[in-house]
């Protein structure tokens, strides 16, 4: 049982340290990149329909999506020169 008490103390100490860091007045908070992005309502349904349409007509959904990503990056780079 002493291990359990020691573990509980460690957890309490860890939580206290986190709270102190979060409540520090001069703490600079970085946006967490670990959070999963929130998709708009109905996103999955539209994505599934789009996949079906693209694959039925001219090819691969992810290949087309990749090309669109490349266009966005190229346009961004051109606009910001």
pLDDT digits (tens, 9 = 90+) for 41-74: 999 999 999 999 999 987 899 999 999 999 999 9
Tokens of 79: 């606009």
Looking at the predicted structure, is the pLDDT value of residue 15 above 60?
A: no
Average pLDDT over the chain, rounded to an integer: 77
Tokens of 58: 């001219």
Q: How high is the pLDDT of residue 59?
A: 84
CA distances from 40 to 44, 50, 66, 68, 81 (A): 9, 15, 20, 19, 32
Tokens of 24: 């520090």
């Amino acid at each position: 049982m002493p291990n359990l008490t020691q573990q509980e103390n460690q957890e309490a100490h860890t939580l206290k340290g986190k709270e102190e860091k979060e409540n520090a007045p001069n703490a600079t908070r970085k946006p967490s990149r670990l959070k999963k992005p929130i998709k708009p309502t109905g996103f999955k349904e539209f994505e599934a329909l789009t996949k079906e349409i693209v694959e039925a007509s001219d090819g691969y959904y992810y290949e087309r999506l990749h090309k669109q990503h490349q266009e966005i990056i190229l346009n961004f780079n051109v606009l910001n020169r």
